Chain A
């Protein structure tokens, strides 16, 4: 028996290009807006950090005895208030952006430069090299990023270079793992086989074929790790293990302000806000880029 299902008449007319535009625009907007917002925020941070001497209203270490622990706007020239030494919070936050950005970028570059070649080598070559590299990475992965950075920075002492080194080493196993998994996928591709047939050596294959094809995914993840590095730096400074005062970093401004949360919550509020905005910027960019790459979300 044939089943006849009643259906509503279907409009078979081709949708005009004008009808399609809002949907397409919405889709594009949805994809690119978070990246745009994140990029603008991250670019603003870079500009603030680079132009700190020009845009900071006062010196970050200048002490004003007549304006100790004053709230935002309570005294002229101190828009975000002052700390226990009468130092301008806004200027310290602007200068603190330098430390955060330097540590964020440099430690990720360190982890990338150290981890990616090792990961590609492990994934592409396999064998003993892979076992050795991956066991070392696993060993470091047993420590969470902050804990490993804390151990290293405790051993080396708190300074900008040591913080970069500590966070960089802590991030390295993440890059090793990712690069290895990408190399494992890429090494079986036809173009690798073709390049091998043409006589390319192992090193050339890894440098000219595997690395460029893994680069996009690696850069996306690196963006997310900048956020992790900035947060870790702030955590270390907050614990008193980062860059020692009086050099301003967002973490140590927050740590110093902790003693005054009862009378002067603005010190911790604004420095914490700066950390959050910076981390958010890189998370937004990294997230949006990752979503763009995620095949499960394609066409949505």
Chain B
């Protein structure tokens, strides 16, 4: 087990380094001078030279690269060109917004996707059940999250006036109350804050959750199909066990192992989805921060956001691999 974990860690490190190198190189060949983007076309040559020197862009590329790697390891991504303050602070402020969105949409996706996948696999011979479920999954898979988001905004925000059109609620306030302990002294204010956050979160979570549910339902359908074709399921049926027991006692539990791998894929898709979802709903978060940073040629910020995205995906996959080994001991022997 220890060897397996070590091997996985050793694979993850060069992967992370490689991914960070891609981010660094891509950001360095961005068209346009960031100093011109910051100071405008009217800036004097001296001012531009000063800016380039201050940002460290006059140093050789190799020096910049090593500096970037060393700083990234310490979560120091430099200062934002536009805002001026440290990128890591900005990321730390935006991360909770993206985190709650991913978690909320994961709940929506699991509640919708897993039952659809299981029923669709078990009832695949019944076209009246299988077909509508597969059509729902296909629609979810084909529907771009930004379009679904806009449709939800048109119906629920603009026409029915049930949900806010933009923003993410006062999540910073809620987190500050938790940190300061005010959650106990002012529970009413805290609950009002949480309600506000949830109010702002509902539509984005539904939009992202529904599109993710399609992926989850397909993967769980596939996992269920894999499990129910196993010999032990046939044995259970041959023993005369009721179908319900076969499903609950044997199939569902074993289905969870392949479902674990979904988490890795899920996080990758969900994080990509946040880029589009946060943009549609004008919600603060890492995704929106990334898009804004690219638009403003603020490459420490863009670099920081992409590096964090990549780190999260690699780390989650690493954890999933280890969980996989814990759940299924055969894997460590491979």
Contacts and interface: CB of A to CB of B under 8 A. Distances in A.
A, B from the same assembly: yes
Interface of A: 30, 135-136, 138-140, 142-147, 150-152, 154-157, 227, 231, 234-235, 238-241, 254, 258, 261-262, 265, 268-269, 272-273, 275-277, 279-280, 283-284, 287, 296-297, 300
15 contacts: A138-B11, A139-B14, A139-B19, A142-B314, A143-B310, A144-B268, A152-B26, A154-B294, A155-B27, A269-B154, A275-B147, A276-B143, A280-B138, A296-B225, A296-B226
Contact of B150 (A151, A241, A254, A277): A254
Contact of B306 (A151, A261, A276, A283): A151
A198 B290 CA distance: 57
B15 A139 contact: yes
A279 B31 contact: no
Given A157-B31, A261-B158, A139 B147 contact: no
Given A142-B310, A296-B229, A240 B14 contact: no
Given A144-B268, A300-B124, A135 B26 contact: no
Nearest to A287: B138
B294 A241 contact: yes
A152 B306 CA distance: 12
A143 B142 contact: no
Contacts of A150: 275, 290, 294
A30 B151 contact: no
The 7 A-B pairs of least Cβ separation, nearest first, read A272-B147, A139-B18, A280-B142, A279-B142, A144-B272, A155-B26, A142-B19
A154 B26 contact: yes
A151 B23 contact: yes
Interface residues of B, number: 50
Nearest to A142: B19
A151 B125 CA distance: 44
Contacts of A142: 15-16, 18-19, 310, 313-314
A240 B276 CA distance: 11
A260 B125 CA distance: 46
B313 A235 contact: no
A151 B269 contact: no
A58 B172 CA distance: 50
A109 B143 CA distance: 23
A254 B19 contact: no
B313 A268 contact: no
A290 to B, nearest CB: 10
Contacts of B138: 280, 283-284, 287
A213 B310 CA distance: 35
Nearest to A148: B22
Interface in B233-284: 268-269, 271-272, 275-276, 279-280
Given A239-B279, A283-B141, A300-B124, A147 B314 contact: no
Interface of B: 11, 14-16, 18-19, 22-23, 26-27, 29-31, 124-125, 127, 138-139, 141-144, 146-147, 150-151, 153-154, 158, 225-226, 229, 268-269, 271-272, 275-276, 279-280, 290-291, 294-295, 302, 306, 309-310, 313-314
A231 to B, nearest CB: 6
Given A139-B18, A272-B146, 16 more contacts: A139-B22, A142-B314, A150-B294, A155-B27, A155-B29, A155-B30, A235-B146, A235-B276, A238-B144, A239-B276, A239-B279, A276-B147, A279-B144, A280-B138, A280-B142, A300-B125
Given A151-B26, A239-B279, A268 B150 contact: yes
A254 B268 contact: no
A156 B309 CA distance: 21
Contacts of B143: 276, 279
Contacts of A240: 295
A80 to B, nearest CB: 16
Contacts of A269: 151, 154
Nearest to A277: B142
A142 B147 CA distance: 26
A265 B309 CA distance: 33
Contacts of A30: 127
Given A154-B294, A296-B229, A143 B19 contact: yes
A235 B29 contact: no
Contact of A276 (B14, B144, B154, B290): B144
Given A155-B27, A300-B124, A227 B150 contact: no
A147 B272 contact: yes
A272 B151 contact: yes
Nearest to B302: A154
Nearest to B279: A239
Contacts of B151: 268-269, 272
Nearest to A158: B31
